[in-house]
Amino acid sequence: MGHIDLAVQEILDTINELLEIDNKDQSYINVVKRVLEKIYNISVENKIEDIAFELSEIERLLKEDDKEQGQKYIEKLENIKKILEDKISQRSKILIFHDSDNLLDELINKINKNNIDVVLLKSDAVDSIFSHNPNAVVIQNNKDMNAVTILKCIREEKVLDQFPIIVISDADYNNKIECLKLGVIDYIEHNFDVEEVYLKLINIVNMSCKCLKNTVYDISTGLYTRKQGELLAQSLLVKAKDEKKQATLLVIDFDYMSEINKNFGVSFGNKIINKVVSEFKKYTTKVDIVYRMSGDKFAFVFYDKDVKWVKNIADKVLRFAINHGEEMGKKISFSGGISSSLKDKSDYKDMMLRAKEALSIAKMEGRSRIVIDIDFVKQNKIVNILFVDDDKIIVSILKSRYKNKGYNVFTASDGLEALEILKNYDIGLVVTDYYLKLMNGDELIKNIRQTDKETPIIVLSSQKNEDYIKRTLELGADDYILKPFSPVELDSRIKKLLD
């Protein structure tokens, strides 16, 4: 194992130990912060770019020392774990289902010395192959581990047909023929020559690596692999630029898949992923590119579709995923980041970087949401609207209505939450109820106007008293609309203020 591999494994071991701790008090969060800072420094020193990118804002977060950020630190830790597991999964790997009789010890030691990972297992063949994605599988047949039964289980999953499998067993002609019929590439009897079997496995691994390197489709989903997807996406971006069309990228990451895989198996998790991805594919054309980036992360490149259209589709599929999970009694959702081709840039790497940044924001804001890349918002003047109301039904209606009109919508249930959003985001217009928890509308307006004299503010209220209306406008509100209000009237007032 090389220097970088040791660094990766050491970081992963530390993260796993931390995530297993139940009592996540402030002392625990302080330890997590120190670990994240150390991981960031190691990733920069060793040029582990994806880890460094994931933690690029960690210095700012640590300086803020906000005690409310605890969950964000833990989510960062989980994201780093996922990235590292993907890195380890890309190493050459042999899966061995073995007995405990030590007959394979010499072979295993020899393989390990060749910088190939050996994973020793005794059960759960299908889930283990899905989890580890090995270059080769070895099954040691005996009375406690029947190779034919394991092979039948593996072959029932059609996507596993491409994995090369070797059976090691006692001499048994009928069993050998049965195993060969089930697709094993070799049947080796015990008392084998270690050097011979070792060389066979090395050759199989090398051949498997070459095949996987050139693989066009992901085995679990049938989508393009990352390498193939990125090549096609770059070509599509060039085509869009040449034809003066827009290309829009959506990157999604399933939020709770590690828990589902752990509790119900990877095979079950893959079925959920395929269900949701299939729903997405209803909205794609033959020109669009869809590929699996890694693990639970997917990229969709839409040709001649704008950001608004892609966001609406992503929100629809997100609702589908959540409802599908509720029907099954499981928590299923994903977070997403959207970027689009900018006027001065046509590089797919830049587009991907911006989508990933938007995805990171979606994760940090609580997951189960879609966020648009801020650079695109600035260049195309997509307005951020903040609705402040503790009535969830009204907020839900307004959010849905103005999302569909192309605005980027933020919501808050009280004045303090609203001020926090205004501090962190470039909000173009505030629509607030007068009566709020913790801080009334007039107090919110006063707080906003202390630092911001420009952002338009509309107040919604059932209070018809002229003194209230006058006070609200004098404090800095730009408009006052009585409840119940007409959505068309609100549309008109918003448009007038933004114009």
What does the alpha-carbon distance between residue 368 and residue 377 come to, in Å, rounded to a whole number? Answer: 21
For residue 15, the enclosing domain spans 3-89
Classify residue 480: in a domain, yes or no.
yes
Amino acid identity of residue 344, one-letter, is: D
> Which two tokens mark 262?
């752990």
Are residues 256 and 340 located together in one domain of the fold? yes
Last residue of a domain, one of 213, 234, 250: 213
Question: How far lies 110's CA from each of 122, 196, 254, in Å?
Answer: 20, 12, 38
Number of separate domains in the chain: 4
Are residues 247 and 370 located together in one domain of the fold? yes
What lies within 8 Å, CB to CB, of 386 at 6+ separation is: 410, 411, 412, 418, 421, 422, 427, 429, 430, 431, 432
Classify residue 176: in a domain, yes or no.
yes
pTM: 0.56
239-256 pLDDT, tens digit each: 888 888 889 999 999 988
Classify residue 220: in a domain, yes or no.
no
Classify residue 261: in a domain, yes or no.
yes
Beta strand pairing call for 136-140 and 117-121: unpaired
Are residues 189 and 317 located together in one domain of the fold? no
Are residues 286 and 166 located together in one domain of the fold? no
Are residues 235 and 362 located together in one domain of the fold? yes
> Which two tokens mark 91?
């190493």
Are residues 257 and 373 located together in one domain of the fold? yes
What does the alpha-carbon distance between residue 12 and residue 331 come to, in Å, rounded to a whole number? Answer: 25
> Which two tokens mark 494?
């918003």
With beta carbons less than 8 A apart as the criterion, state whether 386 and 418 touch: yes
Classify residue 221: in a domain, yes or no.
no
Classify residue 53: in a domain, yes or no.
yes
CA 298 to chain centre: 7
What CATH number did the domain enclosing 443 receive? Answer: 3.40.50.2300
Last residue of a domain, one of 42, 62, 89: 89
Are residues 277 and 207 located together in one domain of the fold? no
CA 316 to chain centre: 17
With beta carbons less than 8 A apart as the criterion, state whether 139 and 97 touch: yes
pLDDT in tens, the chain (499 residues): 444 455 666 777 778 777 777 777 888 888 888 888 888 887 787 777 777 777 777 666 666 666 666 777 888 888 888 777 766 656 788 889 887 667 788 888 888 887 788 888 877 777 777 777 788 899 998 877 888 988 888 877 765 667 889 999 989 999 999 999 998 999 999 889 999 999 999 998 888 776 665 677 887 788 888 888 998 998 898 888 888 888 999 999 998 888 888 788 878 888 899 999 999 999 999 899 999 988 889 999 999 888 888 998 999 999 999 999 999 999 999 999 999 876 666 678 888 988 988 888 888 777 889 988 877 666 666 788 999 988 888 888 888 888 877 788 899 888 888 888 888 788 889 998 888 877 888 888 888 888 888 889 998 888 787 888 888 888 888 999 888 888 888 888 888 888 7
Q: What is the pLDDT of residue 364?
A: 77
What does the alpha-carbon distance between residue 16 and residue 13 come to, in Å, rounded to a whole number? Answer: 5
> Which two tokens mark 337?
């980041």
3-state DSSP assignment of residue 254: strand
Classify residue 31: in a domain, yes or no.
yes
60-79 pLDDT, tens digit each: 666 666 666 677 788 888 88
